[in-house]
Structure 1
Amino acid sequence: MSPSPSGGVVPVSAAFYRDLGHGSYESSPATAGPWSPKTQHGGPPSALMGRALERHAPRQGFRVARISLELARPVPVADLQVNVRTARSGARTELLEGEITSGGQLVLMARAWRMIASPDDTPQLRPEPIAPPLPGPQPPHGMAGAHVEGYIAAMEWRFEPGKGFDTTGPGTVWARQRIPLVAGEQDTPLTRALTLADSSWAVAFELDHVQRLVINTDVTLALHREPIGEWLCVRSATAASPGGSGLALGQLDDTVGDCGRILQTLLVTQR
């Protein structure tokens, strides 16, 4: 259970998904996004796909370095079927593909590069300034007009003092899961990062998503190393142009430092 912004209690499921076997998963109410209790936030299904890609024909010394997810249509809070395959396999790199369907409809597609890990003497390069320290505990964060009793309540959010989802970006947030991705399983660094990655543009709300329709069509996560620990920090900003679209770029840090980037294309149009 998690306190609600109004002081009540919001029920939180035991996990985002339950494994039904043979690539099928039951979605819990915790997967529901801010726009409707019937459709999922992009984070949990992205992580579910990442889990499947990691487990597909694993190779010793290889890691997923980049994954791009295409959100073909809203993912319903319903049973999901996950399928993955190897598109190309080489001595040092391989390209994996996957899809998630629900009720026979394609809802998510993915491509991922899995590659051999860099040698120990690779220089540690970090051009970006370090993230701000992890803030102390905060009251639960809400979002104006949003459904907060799913994904938002299933995550713990710590913004910079005095800020939150309704603060105009650029933005910074530390976050962690309150529940595991799949019931009875330990999360991995990749799935933890993917559970959070789709929130990047919401951390950097700079376009009016209330008066206009602003929504991301994809998520790309690139990791130059595995994230460490349960707490992850996203620092995100949005670019946009008349006659164009929006672009949200996030930097991903853990308590050790910089570990990756998040890129999202934003549809910007009239409602």
Structure 2
Amino acid sequence: MSETNPLGLTEDSGSYYRRIDDDTYMPTLHAQGAWQPHEQHMAPVSGLIAHCMETFNSREDMQLSRITFEILGVIPAAPSTVECRTIRPGRTIELDEAVMSVEGKLVVRARGWRLSKQDTSGVAGGLPAPMPAPDDLEPWRGSTMWGGGYIRSLEFRRDPQSVPGDGRMWLRSTKTLVEDTDVSDMAAYVGLVDTANGVATRANPNEWMFPNLDLTIHLWRSPQAGWVGFDTLVTFGQSGVGLTSSTLHDVRGPLGRAEQILTVREIPTRP
């Protein structure tokens, strides 16, 4: 154990999670959060929940088009159980729910709308502008700003025109989601989206805290795993609330949006 790994999480895995049984997963050090060393980062948590949702209810005729995660508190880096159910079954529209609990405590509740697949290519349009390709942007070291094993597992490309609160970033992971387990492109992609709140920070995270309490992802097409692109705007209000809004991209172009509500507070100065 060490100061950066106080719980002695596994470091030698090439994945964020190891399966314990059908519903329970053990996070590795690569799932470690950026704010506190004893918590999980919400990004791999989101991917794991999306994976469980998809394996619970796999329908080739449906697409996961919106998923909202409610973060109910700190997510301890300990065995995590995910349970799924269908709330609203349907032939063309369906609503599923997944809940994650750690040490008997509910920590995340997620709901996902599945919509039927249709051929709408004749009326498709209204897409945001594409981002520059990852190879056209500069490498950036996320660990210079953020701590934790999750951030260290990522490769970044940053637009040099980015400014605090408004920026563009590509990132991809060097790890798989679940050890020795095939996961969909959807789950792998969703497992990186929560990083949006750290790619265009408006304030120094050593001086201010601004964790998100939720994550809502809207997708108008299925993503391709690999590089995840963020065109992100961060807004802070005057009473302790903020919002991170991102247009999401993969290497084929824009594909959706993510929104994260933030609680903004100054970190007390130590005497």
Q: TM-score range by the shorter chain?
A: 0.7 to 0.9
Question: Cα deviations across residues 130-179 of structure 1 (Å, max 9, x unaligned)?
Answer: 1112136966613456424x10111211112497xxx6231211111111
Shift of 1:119: 1.6
User: What's the counterpart of residue 52 of structure 1?
Assistant: 52
Letter in structure 1 aligned against 2:83: N
Structure 2: gaps spanning 5 or more residues: 1-10
Q: What is the distance in 2 between the residues matched to 1:12 and 1:123?
A: 49
Identify which of 233, 258, 261 aligns with 1:237: 233
Structure 1 length normalisation: TM-score?
Answer: 0.87
Letter in structure 1 aligned against 2:61: G
CA contact (8 A) 1:208 1:214 kept: no
CA distance 1:144–1:110, shift in 2 (3 Å): same
Q: What is the distance in 2 between the residues matched to 1:37 and 1:268?
A: 20
CA contact (8 A) 2:62 2:116 kept: yes
CA distance 1:255–1:25, shift in 2 (3 Å): same
User: What's the counterpart of residue 23 of structure 1?
Assistant: 23
Letter in structure 1 aligned against 2:95: L
Matched, 1:256 2:235: no
User: What's the counterpart of residue 7 of structure 2?
Assistant: none
Query: What is the aligned-residue RMSD (CA, Å)?
Result: 2.1
Report how many aligned residue pairs link the two structures.
257
Letter in structure 2 aligned against 1:36: Q
User: What's the counterpart of residue 243 of structure 2?
Assistant: 247
Identify which of 186, 192, 195 aligns with 1:190: 186
User: What's the counterpart of residue 81 of structure 1?
Assistant: 81
User: What's the counterpart of residue 124 of structure 1?
Assistant: 124
CA contact (8 A) 1:12 1:30 kept: no
Letter in structure 2 aligned against 1:173: M
Matched, 1:171 2:170: no
CA distance 1:22–1:133, shift in 2 (3 Å): closer
Structure 2 length normalisation: TM-score?
Answer: 0.87
User: What's the counterpart of residue 152 of structure 1?
Assistant: 151
Matched, 1:213 2:212: no
Secondary structure class of the residue paired with 2:14: coil
Deviates more, 1:118-127 or 1:137-146: 137-146
Shift of 1:37: 2.1
Letter in structure 2 aligned against 1:26: M
CA contact (8 A) 2:145 2:205 kept: no
CA distance 1:145–1:175, shift in 2 (3 Å): closer
CA contact (8 A) 1:126 1:258 kept: no
Identify which of 157, 173, 176 aligns with 1:180: 176
Q: What is the distance in 2 between the residues matched to 1:153 and 1:190?
A: 22
User: What's the counterpart of residue 3 of structure 2?
Assistant: none
Secondary structure class of the residue paired with 2:20: strand
Letter in structure 1 aligned against 2:254: D
Secondary structure class of the residue paired with 1:87: strand
Secondary structure class of the residue paired with 1:124: coil
User: What's the counterpart of residue 201 of structure 1?
Assistant: 197
Secondary structure class of the residue paired with 2:201: coil
CA distance 1:187–1:34, shift in 2 (3 Å): same
User: What's the counterpart of residue 265 of structure 1?
Assistant: 261
Deviates more, 1:237-246 or 1:19-28: 237-246
CA distance 1:26–1:244, shift in 2 (3 Å): closer
User: What's the counterpart of residue 6 of structure 2?
Assistant: none
CA distance 1:237–1:94, shift in 2 (3 Å): same
